[in-house]
Amino acid sequence: MPNVTVTVNGKSHTVDVAPETLLVELIREKLRLTGTHVGCDTSQCGACVVHVDGAAVKSCTMLAMSADGATVTTIEGLANGSTLHPMQEAFREHHGLQCGFCTPGMIMTAVDIVNRKGGNLDEHTIRDELEGNICRCTGYHNIVKAVGAGARAMAGGGKSAQAAE
Amino acid sequence: MSATGIGAAVRRKEDQRFITGTGNYTSDITRPGEVRAYFVRSPHAHATIDKIDVSAAKRMPGVVDILTGADLAGDKIGGLICGWAITSKDGTPMKMGAHPAIAADKVRCVGDAVAVVLAETLLQARDAAEAVQVDYGVLPAVVDPAKATAKGAPQLHDVAPNNLIYDWHLGDKAATEAAFAAAKHVTKLDIINNRLVPNAMEPRAAIAEYDQGNDALTLWNTSQNPHVARLVISAFVGMAPEHKLRVIAPDVGGGFGSKIFIYPEEVVALWAARRVKRPVKWVSDRSEAFLTDAHGRDHVTHAELATDANHKITGLRVHTIANIGSYMSTFSSSVPTYLYATLLSGQYAIPAIYAEVDAVYTNTAPVDAYRGAGRPEATFVVERLVEVAARELGLDPAEFRRKNFVTSFPHQTPVIMTYDAGDYDASMTKAMEMIDYKNFGKRKAESEKNGKLRGIGFSTYIEACGIAPSQAVGSLGAGVGLWESAEVRVNPTGSVEILTGSHSHGQGHETTFAQLVSDRLGVPIDTVSIVHGDTDKVQFGMGTYGSRSGAVGMSAISKALDKIEDKAKKVAGYMMEAAADDIEFKDGKFTVKGTDKSVGWGDVTLNAYIAHKFTGGQLEPGLKEGAFYDPTNFTFPAGCHLAEVEIDPETGKITIANWVAVDDFGNIINPMIVEGQVHGGIAQGVGQAMLEGAHYNADGQLVTGSFMDYAMPRAADLPSFKVDTTVTPCPSNPLGIKGCGEAGAIASPAALINAITNAVGHENVPMPATPSVVWKAAQGGMKKAAE
Amino acid sequence: MALEMSGEYELPQAREVVWKALNDAEILKKCIPGCETLEKLSDSEFQATVKLSIGPVSARFKGRVKLEDIDAPNGYKIAGEGEGGVAGFAKGFANVALAEAGEGTKLTYKAEAATGGKIAQLGQRLIAGSAKKTADRFFENFVAALQDYK
């Protein structure tokens, strides 16, 4: 079996994988980082979004071997120690989650939106940019609020979401 | 109101693990030595199984075993059952066909399991599944419920001739016919309540483990009610005695009803684990979920409403054909009967109602409860009829409703229910203010200037929740009681563990239940933990569905807290040498009435355990109490949703310009969580009304079988919602709670379709109102206006 | 059956030649798109392996090809049915008619196709296109194969 070297959440791993192994399978089954979820098998739901070399990727759409040499951040690597990332904080503050299953993908996508579009996001932009992430619980209302607040907090240099309101 | 007590928008305790990726869903769990299960499923909707050859597949790498329906029957594993008995008009019981967990002789829908492959890895199991040879004798299929009972239709189960499971009725037929005979005006509608796929984001999963030494089984599953799963798998499937089977439902990623039911895969995982003596893990992929999760709705209905010269509703009658699918799922029989026809009075005083329901088998996935379960179907019938009647009579839809609202309580409807409290005018009036109803005409004119159509639609819904008084549901055929249980364990240091029979899969019980305890005992919510979802830890409980966890589950906790308070007062009495009757308990402090003598919560809890201030003859040591709470009535959440849409007649595109929901949920524990429930419910209802529809082709193939073809609501499909409440406390439980989990999904389809039909100017807009449907309707509507 | 297709081809060859080719296992094997093996079981029945991909699902279908309603040299019905394991099944038939048209032959066909299982579930939006393409390619291949057929 070929091996793959990836840096995940700051830690380097070299892992033997079957060639057909998906990045999400590497993350969940080999590295046992189960915060990244699988909600579909057609790359539609976004529950598996992680960052590969700083950009959001549906990890069910990428082969593990394609990630050889890459730097990957998963939901487990987003907080700075015990200090939550402002986007995580914003999801809690604005009740942007219910069952929690889509949440890791939502948060990773949201951080990527801010990285690409900046901290001042209007509702229309947020809703459009969440196109690739499905939530069945929240009706998106509070997710949209959370992403907006999290974006402002990120732009404000990591102040808490509430302070940025 | 304290910062963490009843009524406070406390941020959720459970969120920490979900936002950091440290939740523990079933598919996250691995057990040492586990094998992976992969099911071989029928690609045919209806076929005999003539031969299964697993010999080549068994030789594939990594394969541990391959089991078939014949093996299952050989081990005398029982089939799955429907736990609610319905009786037909002629007094005969419903006709339930056998439902083996793996089909042995015949498959009845695409996705029916015919074998299970157990292998070291999932990839190996999948590869071996390719090599299982199944010879099918393909039979014609029927998928349309309206055609299932026709002469010559393919027959699914021998026990159910003409595919008819029951033909049931409710209400006074003669009185209703008399009302229609005397009516000044009759409004008629034909309605298809479209079939939906629940699609909780976490697909179902099951891990089973066999402990040889103790001959005991453990099942981790994605269940809304682990005790009910254990009971059914034990008592009906016969897998193991109840005390030798532990069911654990850890974090569950959404349910919406679809995870109430006991599914074949859980049974097979347990059985296989015992056979191969290794843990067996099965995780559904989304494609499997589309085929095998119980679907929702799927009614074909003709409905009529009679009104008199004074615009009073005098009668309502419906005939509904309900598609049950290929097998009767766990509670499938109750959904189109007692959860549907009993709500046909809506918010209105209707003297005569008569409902007939035919439940039929078809070659489709089983259909069972999905968020709202029967009540969305009833609300859609009533609220469409009322809106159309108002239009036909030339009345403002609000005025027509007001004229017919129930205004005094308790109110006995002609279809079993006794409404206990409500103020329907209050919620409708508030909603109309919030949406600025009186200026709708101006907004419509503005839209018209831009070549757009604008419409507004009402839905003044009612639901029966807090399910349910056990004796009452027993008399209606339920095989179980629908009480709930709770145990309150107070530790010597004063922290509190609540063991509840309710199950949280997104509802936030770890927060709201802790708020109740904090409010009652004056302890910080951080010192309260909520334990649920494990049959070895928690006493028997009935689980979470039917918006019951607040009204029933928390009432059980409240009852147990009463007992805790009584006992703690006794302990405090011994500590302060006063009679228990003279002790007041407030804000976590026990005070001797009329004195400044007091002791704190922590002192009392410690003393309850060290037992130095009283003898065993005076008082039992310890501080732990349990309660079972059986509600005295259903609860009746009600309210008004108003949808305002703008439609582009050139493209059929709908923009939801405005959505207002004013709900009466009785007393509210955490308004933030309640609003979240409303948002999510509306999204699912809007999904039903304009996006979602499960479609089988004539061969019985599910052609909307993935998120590519089944349109789930996404962020850009929805607006932000304006949500508010009115409050009439529920008199039927100690907390005054009515329940909020299903209201949005119940109310919203009718509001949206009423708005669209209002905009396009005619009533023929089937769900889902996709752009092509709306475009056709808009063209038709314009033609009508031009004539 | 869900999908119906039809088409028409003008062929320069005489009807007898076309008819012979339509009954020639080697020609059929060359013309059936994705056909990997075609073994003759009798004059009118073949065992076949065909590789098909529709959208995200691709699978090797094992099944039978049968010639029915044989009316030499006016036409027949060619029907195929294959199981693709976990991918599901595909089946279809074409009624092929040959008419003399001057020196040559006019070939018309009416075909129907259906799929089931995963291939129907996931490939649904692509099936109409794929089936039409498969039918077209068969007859295009057939036209090409006829050029040096005697």
Chains that touch C (3 or more CB pairs under 8 A): B
Q: Count Cβ atoms below 10 Å from residue B383 Cβ, excluding itself.
A: 27
For B154-176, write each residue's pLDDT tens digit: 999 999 999 999 999 999 999 99
A97 to B20: CB separation less than 8 angstroms, yes or no = no
pLDDT score for C54: 76
Which one of A52, A77, A102 terminates a domain?
A: A77
Question: Measured between CA atoms, how close is B698 to chain C, in angstroms?
Answer: 8
CATH of region B31-139+202-253+259-292, choose from 3.90.1170.50, 2.60.120.10, 3.30.428.10, 1.10.10.10: 3.90.1170.50
Instruction: Give the mean pLDDT of B122-134.
Output: 94
Which CATH number do you get for residue A33?
3.10.20.30
The token duo for B604 is 């009392």
Relative to beta strand B106-107, strand B47-53 is antiparallel
Q: Could you tell me how many residues make up chain C? A: 150
Does residue A104 sit in the same domain as residue A72?
Answer: no
Of residues C114, C121, C122, nearest to B699 (C-beta): C114
End-to-end CA distance of chain C: 36
Domain residues for the domain of A45 are 3-77
Residue A153 binned pLDDT confidence (cut-offs 50, 70, 90): very high
Instruction: Give the mean pLDDT of B713-717.
Output: 98
Mean pLDDT by 10 residues, chain C (150 residues): 82 93 91 91 91 79 92 93 86 93 93 88 80 87 87
B40 to C86: CB separation less than 8 angstroms, yes or no = yes
> Which range, of B229-243, B513-527, B666-680, C52-66, averages the lowest pLDDT?
C52-66
pLDDT score for A160: 43
Chain A's closest residue to B509, CA to CA, is A98
For B560-581, write each residue's pLDDT tens digit: 999 999 999 999 999 999 999 9
Which CATH number do you get for residue A123?
1.10.150.120
Q: Write the CA distances from B535 to B11, B235, B558, C2, integer angstroms.
A: 28, 15, 21, 48
Chains that touch A (3 or more CB pairs under 8 A): B
Which one of A26, A59, A77 terminates a domain?
A: A77
Query: What are φ and ψ of residue B64, in 5° steps?
Result: -95, -40
Domain residues for the domain of C76 are 3-146
Domain count for chain C, please give it. 1
Q: Where are the alpha helices (DSSP H) in B437-508?
A: 440-449, 470-475
**Same fold for the pair B31-139+202-253+259-292 and B483-629:** no
Name chain C contacts of B45, Cβ cutoff 8 Å: 116
Q: Count Cβ atoms below 10 Å from residue B269 Cβ, excluding itself.
A: 28
Question: Measured between CA atoms, how close is A38 to chain B, in angstroms?
Answer: 8
Residue A161 binned pLDDT confidence (cut-offs 50, 70, 90): very low
B202 to A97: CB separation less than 8 angstroms, yes or no = no
The correct answer on CATH 3.90.1300.10 for the domain covering B376-467+633-786 is no
pLDDT score for A165: 31
Question: Measured between CA atoms, how close is B669 to chain A, in angstroms?
Answer: 15
Does residue A108 sit in the same domain as residue A150?
Answer: yes
Name chain B contacts of A79, Cβ cutoff 8 Å: 20
Which one of A53, A77, A101 terminates a domain?
A: A77
- The domain ranges of chain B are 31-139+202-253+259-292, 376-467+633-786, 483-629
Using a CB cutoff of 8 Å and minimum separation of 24, what contacts does A55-58 make?
Answer: A55/A112, A56/A108, A56/A109, A56/A111, A56/A112, A57/A23, A58/A132
Does residue A125 sit in the same domain as residue A96?
Answer: yes
Name chain B contacts of C116, Cβ cutoff 8 Å: 43-45, 110, 699, 701
Does residue A90 sit in the same domain as residue A155?
Answer: yes
Does residue A68 sit in the same domain as residue A99?
Answer: no
Which CATH number do you get for residue C84?
3.30.530.20
Does residue A67 sit in the same domain as residue A126?
Answer: no
Name chain B contacts of C3, Cβ cutoff 8 Å: none
Q: Count Cβ atoms below 10 Å from residue B703 Cβ, excluding itself.
A: 20
Does residue A25 sit in the same domain as residue A58?
Answer: yes
Domain count for chain A, please give it. 2
B202 to A44: CB separation less than 8 angstroms, yes or no = no
Chain B's closest residue to C123, CA to CA, is B703
Residue A91 lies in a domain: yes
Q: Write the CA distances from B266 to B206, B534, B540, integer angstroms.
A: 6, 16, 20
At what angle are helices A141-155 and A86-93 packed, to 10 degrees?
Answer: 140
Residue A165 lies in a domain: no
* Topology of the domain covering B483-629: Aldehyde Oxidoreductase; domain 4 (3.30.365)
Please determine, for residue A157, whether its predicted confidence score (pLDDT) is greater than 70. no
Residue A22 lies in a domain: yes
Does residue A73 sit in the same domain as residue A117?
Answer: no
